[in-house]
């Protein structure tokens, strides 16, 4: 199977996961993958997740022109394109509207690091992106700026989560962990003020994850 066809399978499977796990609702949220330098595979606009199939994936070139597919691409294509253009290390993007993380986005507060999994997989707080309308070039510009050279996830103000990675499983894992961490922060605020992990400890945990955790190289 060629890289584009393989990417279509990965994007569909990731889209099913975010829907099944309640990280997105109805037809909102989107997923993409960049299997080669000049091709992006992205979910179509406004098709219910339950109906999504391999053949519904949209293939666009780096300029955003549709090369393959029967549907319009996600309206967040400008955001995906801008991130891929700015960061050659990124090969996959998952955008969710999960509830607890979005509560932080609505409050325009970063999600701090309180447990090891966010430290390990995100490597720091999830920072808030300056507000712009969804689907706009302005939102794409603001998100790229907030991600910087090595950011792995940001919160789109009054909107949701944008997670990136070197592949789809790592971008998906980040979305899950961000939502879990956001829930823990919210619950801990009911008990008092959560103790945050300090930046040195976060860096140590991230480094340990990249070099020592599990059976393979992490990203």
CB nearer Zn ion, residue 36 or residue 107: 107
- Choices 117-125, 142-150, 159-167, 209-217; region in contact with Zn ion by CB under 5 A: 159-167
178-209 burial code (b ≥16 CB/10 A, e <16): bbbbbebbbeeeeeeeeeebeeeebeebbeeb
Residue 113, token pair as written in the block: 């690091």
Q: Which is nearer to Zn ion, 45 or 218 (CB)?
A: 45
**Minimum distance from residue 162 beta carbon to Zn ion (Å):** 9
- Cα-based distances in Å from 181 to 43, 48, 101, 161, 187: 27, 28, 8, 13, 10
Cβ nearer to Zn ion, comparing 159 with 206:
159
Catalytic residue among 76, 116, 130, 201: 76
Active site residue 5: no
| Contacting range for Zn ion; rule: CB under 5 A; set: 46-54, 82-90, 141-149, 160-168 | 160-168
The phi, psi pair for 108, rounded to 5°, reads 55, 50
Closest separation between CB of residue 50 and Zn ion, Å?
Answer: 18
Which residue in 198, 135, 165 sits closest to 33, CA to CA?
165
CB of 150 to Zn ion, least distance (A): 23
Structure tokens at 204: 């140590």
CB of 157 to Zn ion, least distance (A): 12
Q: Which of 15/197 has CB closer to Zn ion?
A: 15
Instruction: Give the residue at shortest CB distance from Zn ion.
Output: 160
Other Cβ atoms less than 10 A from the Cβ of 112: the count is 18
Distances, alpha carbon 147 to alpha carbons 22, 60, 156, in Å: 25, 23, 11
Give the residues lining the site for Zn ion (CB under 5 A): 160
- The set of catalytic residues is 76
């Amino acid at each position: 199977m060629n890289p584009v066809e393989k990417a279509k399978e990965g994007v569909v499977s990731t889209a099913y996961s975010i829907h099944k796990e309640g990280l997105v609702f109805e037809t909102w949220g989107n997923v993409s993958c960049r299997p080669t330098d000049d091709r992006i595979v992205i979910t179509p606009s406004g098709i219910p997740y339950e109906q999504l199939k391999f053949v519904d994936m949209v293939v666009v070139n780096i300029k955003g022109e549709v090369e393959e597919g029967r549907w319009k691409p996600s309206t967040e294509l400008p955001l995906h394109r801008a991130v891929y253009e700015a960061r050659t290390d990124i090969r996959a993007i998952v955008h969710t509207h999960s509830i607890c993380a979005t509560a932080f986005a609505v409050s325009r507060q970063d999600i701090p690091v309180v447990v090891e999994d966010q430290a390990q997989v995100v490597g720091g707080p999830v920072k808030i992106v300056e507000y712009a309308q969804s689907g706009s070039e302005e939102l794409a510009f603001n998100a790229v700026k907030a991600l910087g050279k090595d950011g792995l996830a940001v919160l789109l103000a009054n909107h949701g989560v944008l997670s990136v990675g070197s592949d789809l499983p790592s971008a998906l894992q980040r979305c899950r962990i961000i939502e879990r961490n956001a829930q823990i922060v919210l619950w801990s605020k009911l008990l008092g003020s959560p103790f945050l992990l300090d930046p040195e400890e976060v860096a140590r945990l991230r480094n340990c994850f990249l070099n020592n955790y599990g059976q393979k190289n992490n990203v």
